[in-house]
Amino acid sequence: MVKIRTQTTLCAIILASLTLAGCETNPVTGRSQVMIVSEEQAQAASSQAYAKTLADARGKGRLNTNAQATTRVRDIANRLVQQAKIMIPASANWAWEINVVDDDNVNAWCMPGGKMAVYSGLLNRIAPTDDELAQVIGHEISHALLQHGRERMSRAVATNVGLQLGSIATGVNLTGLENVAMVALELPNSRAGETEADGVGIELAAKAGFHPNAAVTLWQKMARIGGPKPPQLLSTHPSDEARLANLRALIPKMMPFYQAATTPPGRTKPSRD
């Protein structure tokens, strides 16, 4: 018993040391994030996972089957990516890519390095306007820009280190539990992360010429189709009154960006008087 407690304590100390040593301050949000995994590692791992995801969808005949939907998604994403490159210049070197996967889940995501997917369930069940679809894609792009994926990967690595050390102490094969822990950690974004992605996403969309009001109408639509089994996006992107209130408060600040993006060259903006 003493030996197990000693090993457990050692595990906790090493885990805490790794976490502390890997903390970085995000230059956009000012929040401290655990970053054990490097940006290069995160992007390389994401690229491999993305390639497998596309290969699986292609093999099942579920990749970009609707040319019109694919073109629409890519056109909107391209406008947002141009703004992302301005906001975070390092992202200009990313191998950005977006595809549409035939899947009934209401979902979309963006991996480290700009690898994105939109599910047909989002397009069919939500029926988003272009402005609303831009809010979804902008939100997911923001997770990548703010390195939330890398942050979750780092926390998973830290947990795996703890599990591996714990297995030494107990003599139990924890390989399966490590995988479960990784999945559990990677599913949800933190409330802080969601708020950050909301703020950056609505800004990207406004600067790309998509109306900020759509951020509110989008999440209202999401909430309406929730029911007893909410869409996958809502399982990690909770839409509550506090969130909607925060988005409404952001709209007046985003309107100048939207107006600048949509005012034709040579014309002045309408007076507010």
Digit-coded pLDDT (tens) for 13-59: 344 444 444 677 767 766 766 667 778 878 888 888 899 899 999 99
Which of the four pLDDT bands, split at 50, 70 and 90, describes residue 154? confident
Residue 239's identity, in one-letter code, is S
The average pLDDT across 169-198 equals 50
The average pLDDT across 175-200 equals 57
Q: What is the dihedral of CA 121, 123, 125, 131, to 10 degrees?
A: 140
Q: What is the dihedral of CA 164, 168, 171, 174, to 10 degrees?
A: 0
State yes or no: is 140 an active-site residue.
yes
Asked if the structure places residue 108 within a domain, the reply is: yes
- Structural domain of 151: 6-262
The average pLDDT across 201-224 equals 95
Q: What is the pLDDT of residue 173?
A: 33
Q: What is the pLDDT of residue 158?
A: 67
Q: How many domains does the chain have?
A: 1
Among the residue ranges 47-61, 91-105, 169-183, the one predicted with the least confidence is 169-183
How high is the mean pLDDT of the chain?
A: 78
Asked if the structure places residue 104 within a domain, the reply is: yes
For the record, the structure tokens of 126 come out as 């939500």
pLDDT at 115 over 90: yes
Asked if the structure places residue 102 within a domain, the reply is: yes
Asked if the structure places residue 107 within a domain, the reply is: yes
The average pLDDT across 227-248 equals 68
Say which residue, 190 or 206, is predicted with more confidence.
206
Q: What is the pLDDT of residue 110?
A: 92
Q: What is the pLDDT of residue 145?
A: 95
Asked if the structure places residue 82 within a domain, the reply is: yes
Which of the four pLDDT bands, split at 50, 70 and 90, describes residue 163? very low
Residue in 97, 132, 140, 178 annotated catalytic: 140
Asked if the structure places residue 210 within a domain, the reply is: yes
Among the residue ranges 35-39, 185-189, 219-223, 261-265, the one predicted with the least confidence is 185-189
The average pLDDT across 148-173 equals 56
Say which residue, 125 or 194, is predicted with more confidence.
125
The average pLDDT across 173-191 equals 39
Asked if the structure places residue 165 within a domain, the reply is: yes
Residues for the chain: how many in total? 273
Pairing, β 23-25 against β 32-34: antiparallel
Q: What is the pLDDT of residue 86?
A: 98
Asked if the structure places residue 149 within a domain, the reply is: yes
pLDDT at 184 over 50: no
Which of the four pLDDT bands, split at 50, 70 and 90, describes residue 210? very high
Say which residue the tokens 């700009």 belong to.
114
Q: What is the pLDDT of residue 25?
A: 75
Residue 76 burial by CB count (10 A; 0-12/13-18/19+): exposed, middle or buried? Answer: buried
Say which residue, 70 or 20, is predicted with more confidence.
70
pLDDT at 187 over 80: no
Alpha carbon distance, N-terminus to C-terminus of the chain: 76
